[in-house]
């Protein structure tokens, strides 16, 4: 079961970083492209892993490496609007990236492995979103071998160049070498993104040593396999073409200031004994920018950026540092008019580059919320501010409790942000996902003018339960107690099924089908038992399998 | 981990049965509907479980009960063409069905649980196919409580009636009571078939005692909740309406004779030491029916029925009785012209009721093959007969090896059966699933006239590898040895991901997302450990959970 019974012996994981402090990546803007290309150079420092005990050899990565990558992508979005294409390269000779560090995986708890994979999956999906939505496509320039998670990073890029130098290869050795899956989207992207023939994908995924240039090209695993002499020219040609076809909108740069120790808009109250945390998102408190120019000027202190960055940080903190929390109470506070004003600005200027980037940030944070392995109960009271973008937080919840207060002051307010700009991973809005049975309710809710009080919200299907003030305290208390008493595994599997009704996308296939199988395998003795393949990797003993097929 | 280390101490499971030998179901044809309705009465005999140790109380079921149900559905299709609607009822008072027997689950190996769930899932999907494709819709007449798998059976029907008698309820108590999922499609059908609002589904799936008539109707969990006095009339009204709107085509009955001990068209050679089995499907040997009338006359001895029933039986036998087999070599033999003649007959008379039923049988058997947790390698040599419907067996494989013989006698032959009538669970044909990247290859392959020799098959993308006769033996031997040496869990997860590229359907969501999560949970100590909820069910001790959320 891995070396560590739990993760509490380690210091908490922090997700904030800055290019000046990167240890494993360099974010460069090569002069030859006049600033239009960001180069992400992976150059992992072996001895600076997040936790002790596993040298990060051969450009292998752990969570710390991926936190920097996620940060770099966010910086390019906000701080470097001139960038129109990304290129991934390696700072090491002959190796691009050898994937997630095996000793790190082998020594991690099941829960940490699962959370690590979820975060790396999100980062790669967000890289793809940068191409699809921001107009910044990416190129993997593999002048060395990309194996496992290294190739999974490459396959998350739009295009892959592999140097035909007689040694560089791409490979997914997880199944044959480690008895686990290429679970950071690898298998799904093979057949769903690159649409590689299933039998070819089968062969590729079982050949530990991988496939080199010419064959990799034949099998559509890469897009071009130039020789050593032609490699740099090919990289340049492809990047210049990407820059030319980029549809990135012009925008003013916004420097992402450190969030610092104090959160302004998000509060998390932990009640570890009750396995509960209360997360409160606050509305803006003062005047917020009314134009994109004002937004650029306000920069990362604008509510629309800061509050959502804080929310993202809080969610990641809850995932990694508070596994004992089973249920999140989702609350909001503040003046709904101020939120609706922000929404109105974002909607009025949706074609503006910065406004679009801010909306995409909200979208990604809400997806992070959808993907929490915690039960989510939203609580609506007269003090709440479930309006516009903040209402999406409630719509992401497994249940919504709304106080039926005698004065009718509890209220929900919709904005057009719920009509499309903030879709879930399945491509539907949260309203569409909610009303699969009665799709006409989506439009009706959106057309409603003004606030919906409890009775109206209940009638509109937006609320699960509406206890009055006599019952509220007891009902809420019992709901949380009951939920927190149930098998956390059953809750995770149940929520993963009920939250994603309707269509599936590559994204939901990665988190549903692929991740669920990987989690199963991460629990099986053939991988993580004392004689399992993951446990024994790098040791002289060979793994011993229970060969019964299941 | 359950009481039994393996299943080999039990006699092998047999899948053939007959209504005369049913112990748990009665297949009746009530006079009042003039034979147009088949009534399936569940009346489980407590002490006749498939294995000892768990009384089947309260109409709970085990694999033996479900084998009878699967048989009954097949009988209605072939032997009772006058049937235009199905109704499920219970032979017990106050209980419809209490789901899969918990003690059976608790005392089964992980592998058996997984295979049991897969089979019950298939049976329920085939019930839905009977409605969608054969035109025989079904009604669940719940005059008592349907819990867990009992409600999952109901929700697989087109319509659900729940008697409003003050006690009868529907429920999915798996998560709150047992720490596992309603994994026989329950969660998926809640949100994907009945499209129940996700928060309502969340509440319903965590309320162990379930929901009674009026509220069940409000929540769309059932379609009608008549009182005790009105119940029988409501059943009758709905069944008569179903019969009226049934689009079932007229056909002559075909009695399904017992397959007997000797298989005529399917041979399985086990090499347990090599973890390999060779499955050979034989083409027809003599003249086969050339018209639907002749087909009806030939009955279940016709190749198109018998060979595919045998194949189905062999696949189930391999799943349940030979878990040690990791890789299947898929082979064929016989005269391709005879297969193509059968295909031509089926295609020429595709509107005929019986012909359609035969084609649907083939379709379901091929889906069973797609869903094998065994690696599938097809071997094409001059002795093979991969033609028409038999070619689909190769297209279901993870890899196709075709001998590049000097005389060009190895051959593939396509028929129009590959163009639509035999889709996979994802709704695509196997050719479409194969050529997601180059969809134009689908039409090109189908338009090819005559046999494709090895070079042509390779060029058409239909073959993975084509070793010549010098390399063949070694390459095949090594391929099987390598495959059989890999972690069986990794292979299962990998194949589940690579076989289903492209769109997802409710069916693939059940086998992908839901089943994968359930398998994960079935492996977790919170369910199956010594203090797990499934293990302790029915005992005075309360389960002890590791409450860390993952």
ipTM of the complex: 0.96
Please state whether beta strands B399-402 and B211-212 pair in parallel, antiparallel, or not at all (unpaired): unpaired
CA B39 vs. chain centroid, Å, equals: 21
pLDDT tens column, B100-159: 999 999 999 999 999 999 999 999 999 999 999 999 999 999 999 999 999 999 999 999
Coil, helix or strand for B499?
coil
Q: In Å, what is the CA distance from B155 to each residue of A35, A398, B147, B415, B549?
A: 58, 22, 11, 37, 30
Q: What are phi and psi of B377, to 5 degrees?
A: -115, 120
Does A434 sit within 8 Å of B498, measured CB to CB? no
Residues of A in Cβ contact (< 8 Å) with B220: 437
Q: Is B179 left (phi over 0), alpha (psi -120 to 50) or beta?
A: left
Q: Which of B215, B205, B162, B214 is nearest to B185 (CA)?
A: B205
B547 touches chain A (CB under 8 A): yes
CA A29-A32-A36 angle, 5° bins: 50
Contact B358, B309 (CB under 8 A): no
pLDDT at A533 over 60: yes
User: Would you state the structure tokens that stand for residue A513, as one six-digit string?
Assistant: 């089908």
Of B110, B196, B504, the CB nearest to A437: B196
Of A206, A324, A497, the CB nearest to B486: A206
Q: What is the DSSP string of B23-65?
A: SSEEEE--GGGTTSEEEEEE---TT--SSTT---GGGEE-HHH
pLDDT at A6 over 80: no
- Average pLDDT value for residue range A16-43: 98
Distance from CA of A530 to the nearest CA of B (A): 14
pLDDT tens column, A157-180: 999 999 999 999 999 999 999 999
Please state whether beta strands A266-271 and A25-28 pair in parallel, antiparallel, or not at all (unpaired): unpaired
In the sheet that holds A399-402, the strands lie side by side as: A266-271, A276-282, A327-333, A375-380, A399-402
Does B373 sit within 8 Å of A498, measured CB to CB? no
Does B498 sit within 8 Å of A198, measured CB to CB? yes
B195 touches chain A (CB under 8 A): yes
pLDDT tens column, B325-355: 999 999 999 999 999 999 999 999 999 999 9
Please state whether beta strands B276-282 and B266-271 pair in parallel, antiparallel, or not at all (unpaired): antiparallel
C-alpha A503/C-alpha A357 separation (Å) is 26
Q: What is the pLDDT of residue B3?
A: 42
Does A191 sit within 8 Å of B464, measured CB to CB? no
Q: Which residues contact A500 (CB under 8 A, 6 or more apart)?
A: A424, A425, A426, A433, A508, A512, B513
pLDDT tens column, B12-36: 999 999 999 999 999 999 999 999 9
Instruction: Give the number of other Cβ atoms within 10 Å of residue B465's Cβ.
Output: 18
Q: What are phi and psi of B252, to 5 degrees?
A: -85, 145
Q: Tell me the H-state helices in A205-323.
A: 213-218, 228-245, 292-298, 303-321
Does B399 sit within 8 Å of A202, measured CB to CB? yes
A218 touches chain B (CB under 8 A): no
Please state whether beta strands B412-413 and B399-402 pair in parallel, antiparallel, or not at all (unpaired): unpaired
pLDDT at B5 over 70: no
Contact B51, B104 (CB under 8 A): yes
What pairs with residue B330 in β-bridges? Answer: B279, B378
Of B275, B437, B523, the CB nearest to A524: B523
Q: What is the pLDDT of residue B267?
A: 98
User: Would you state the structure tokens that stand for residue A185, as one six-digit string?
Assistant: 């989207």
Interface test with A, best of B321, B439, B516, B531 (most A CBs within 10 A): B516
Q: 18-77 in A: which are within 8 Å (CB) of B? A: none
CA A387 vs. chain centroid, Å, equals: 24
Q: What is the pLDDT of residue B8?
A: 76
Q: Which residues contact B149 (CB under 8 A, 6 or more apart)?
A: B60, B61, B97, B98, B99, B100, B120, B182, B184, B186
pLDDT tens column, A495-511: 999 999 999 999 999 99
Does A111 sit within 8 Å of B487, measured CB to CB? no
Q: 313-342 in A: which are within 8 Å (CB) of B? A: 323-326
Closest residue, chain B, to A493 (C-alpha): B517
pLDDT tens column, B79-101: 999 999 999 999 999 999 999 99
Q: What is the pLDDT of residue A68?
A: 98
Q: What is the pLDDT of residue B245?
A: 97
Q: Which of B427, B431, B461, B426 is nearest to B443 (CA)?
A: B431
A374 touches chain B (CB under 8 A): yes
Of A190, A433, A549, the CB nearest to B325: A549
User: Would you state the structure tokens that stand for residue A88, as one six-digit string?
Assistant: 């991934």
Does A501 sit within 8 Å of B195, measured CB to CB? yes
C-alpha B440/C-alpha B447 separation (Å) is 11
Please state whether beta strands B386-387 and B412-413 pair in parallel, antiparallel, or not at all (unpaired): parallel
Q: What is the pLDDT of residue A2?
A: 38
Q: In Å, what is the CA distance from A17 to each residue of A23, A24, A258, A367?
A: 10, 12, 8, 21
Does A464 sit within 8 Å of B181, measured CB to CB? no
**Residue A4 banded pLDDT, cuts 50, 70, 90:** very low
Does A114 sit within 8 Å of B206, measured CB to CB? no
Residues of A in Cβ contact (< 8 Å) with B8: none
C-alpha A43/C-alpha A96 separation (Å) is 9
Q: Which of B45, B40, B38 is nearest to B26 (CA)?
A: B40
B353 touches chain A (CB under 8 A): no
CA B545 vs. chain centroid, Å, equals: 33
pLDDT tens column, B170-221: 999 999 999 999 999 999 999 999 999 999 999 999 999 999 999 999 999 9
Does B502 sit within 8 Å of A175, measured CB to CB? no
Residues of B in Cβ contact (< 8 Å) with A545: 487-488
Of B199, B497, B527, the CB nearest to A487: B527
User: Would you state the structure tokens that stand for residue A152, as one six-digit string?
Assistant: 């999974």
What pairs with residue A280 in β-bridges? Answer: A267, A331
Q: Which residues contact B66 (CB under 8 A, 6 or more apart)?
A: B116, B119, B120, B123
Residues of B in Cβ contact (< 8 Å) with A200: 464
B380 touches chain A (CB under 8 A): no
Does B206 sit within 8 Å of A486, measured CB to CB? yes
Q: Which of B23, B49, B234 is nearest to B142 (CA)?
A: B234
Q: In Å, what is the CA distance from B542 to each residue of B243, B531, B532, B536?
A: 49, 8, 9, 7
In b/e form, how buried is each residue of A61-89, taking b as 16+ CB within 10 angstroms? bbbbbbbbbbbbbbbbbbebbbbbbbbbb
pLDDT at A7 over 80: no
- Average pLDDT value for residue range B442-456: 96
Q: What is the three-state SS of A157-203?
A: CCEEEECECCCCEEECCHHHHHCCCCCCCHHHHHHHHCCCCHHHHHH
- Average pLDDT value for residue range B404-429: 97
A105 touches chain B (CB under 8 A): no
Residues of B in Cβ contact (< 8 Å) with A190: 498
A514 touches chain B (CB under 8 A): yes
Dihedral of CA A421/A427/A430/A432: which sign?
positive
pLDDT tens column, A262-312: 999 999 999 999 999 999 999 999 999 999 999 999 999 999 999 999 999
Residues of A in Cβ contact (< 8 Å) with B273: none
- Average pLDDT value for residue range B395-404: 98
Does A464 sit within 8 Å of B200, measured CB to CB? yes
What is the pTM (predicted TM-score) of this model? 0.97
Residues of A in Cβ contact (< 8 Å) with B512: 509, 512-513, 516
Does B527 sit within 8 Å of A179, measured CB to CB? no
C-alpha B82/C-alpha B141 separation (Å) is 21
Closest residue, chain B, to A532 (C-alpha): B487
Q: What is the pLDDT of residue A3?
A: 42
Q: What is the pLDDT of residue B4?
A: 45
């Amino acid at each position: 079961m891995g070396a560590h019974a739990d993760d509490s012996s380690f210091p908490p994981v922090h997700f904030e970083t800055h290019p000046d402090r990167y240890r494993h990546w360099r974010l460069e803007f090569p002069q030859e492209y006049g600033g239009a290309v960001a180069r992400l150079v992976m150059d992992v420092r072996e001895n600076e892993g997040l936790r002790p005990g596993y040298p990060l050899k051969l450009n292998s990565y752990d969570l710390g490496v991926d936190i920097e990558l996620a940060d770099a992508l966010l910086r390019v979005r906000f701080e470097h609007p001139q960038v129109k294409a990304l290129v991934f390269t390696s700072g090491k000779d002959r190796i691009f990236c050898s994937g997630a560090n095996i000793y790190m995986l082998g020594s991690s708890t099941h829960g940490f492995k699962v959370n690590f994979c979820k975060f790396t999956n999100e980062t790669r999906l967000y890289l793809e979103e940068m191409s699809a939505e921001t107009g910044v496509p990416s190129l993997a320039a593999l002048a060395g071998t990309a194996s496992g998670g290294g190739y999974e990073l490459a396959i998350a890029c739009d295009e892959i160049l592999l140097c035909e130098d007689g040694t560089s290869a791409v490979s997914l050795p997880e199944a044959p070498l480690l008895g686990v899956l290429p679970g950071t989207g690898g298998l799904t992207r093979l057949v769903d993104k690159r649409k590689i023939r299933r039998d070819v994908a089968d062969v590729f995924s079982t050949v530990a040593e991988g496939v080199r240039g010419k064959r990799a090209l034949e099998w559509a695993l890469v897009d071009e396999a130039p020789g050593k002499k032609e490699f740099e020219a090919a990289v340049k040609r492809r990047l210049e073409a990407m820059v030319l076809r980029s549809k990135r909108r012009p925008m003013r740069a916004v420097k992402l200031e450190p969030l610092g120790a104090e959160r302004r808009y998000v509060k998390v109250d932990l009640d570890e004994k009750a396995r509960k945390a209360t997360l409160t998102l606050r509305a803006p408190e003062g005047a917020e920018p009314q134009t994109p120019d004002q937004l650029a000027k306000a920069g990362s202190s604008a509510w629309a950026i800061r509050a959502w960055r804080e929310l993202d940080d809080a969610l990641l903190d809850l995932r990694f540092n508070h596994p004992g929390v089973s249920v999140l109470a989702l609350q909001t506070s503040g003046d709904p008019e101020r939120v609706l004003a922000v929404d109105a600005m974002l909607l009025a200027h949706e074609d503006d580059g910065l406004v679009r980037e801010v909306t995409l940030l909200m979208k990604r944070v809400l997806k992070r919320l959808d993907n929490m392995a915690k039960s989510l109960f939203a609580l609506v009271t007269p003090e709440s501010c479930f309006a516009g973008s903040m209402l999406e937080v409630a719509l992401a919840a497994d249940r919504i409790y709304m106080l039926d207060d005698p004065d009718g002051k509890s209220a929900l307010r919709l904005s057009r942000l719920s009509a499309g700009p903030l879709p879930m991973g399945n491509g539907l809005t949260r309203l569409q996902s909610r009303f699969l049975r009665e799709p006409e309710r989506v439009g009706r809710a959106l057309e409603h003018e003004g606030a919906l009080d409890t009775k109206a919200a209940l009638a509109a299907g937006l609320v699960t339960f509406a206890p009055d003030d006599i019952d509220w305290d007891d009902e809420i208390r019992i709901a949380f107690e009951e939920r927190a008493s149930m098998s956390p595994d059953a809750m995770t599997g149940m929520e993963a099924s009920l939250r994603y009704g309707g269509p599936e996308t590559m994204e939901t296939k990665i988190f549903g089908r692929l991740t669920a199988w990987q989690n199963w395998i991460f629990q099986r003795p053939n991988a993580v038992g004392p004689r399992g393949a993951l446990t024994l990797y790098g040791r002289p003993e060979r793994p011993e399998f229970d060969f019964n097929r299941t």
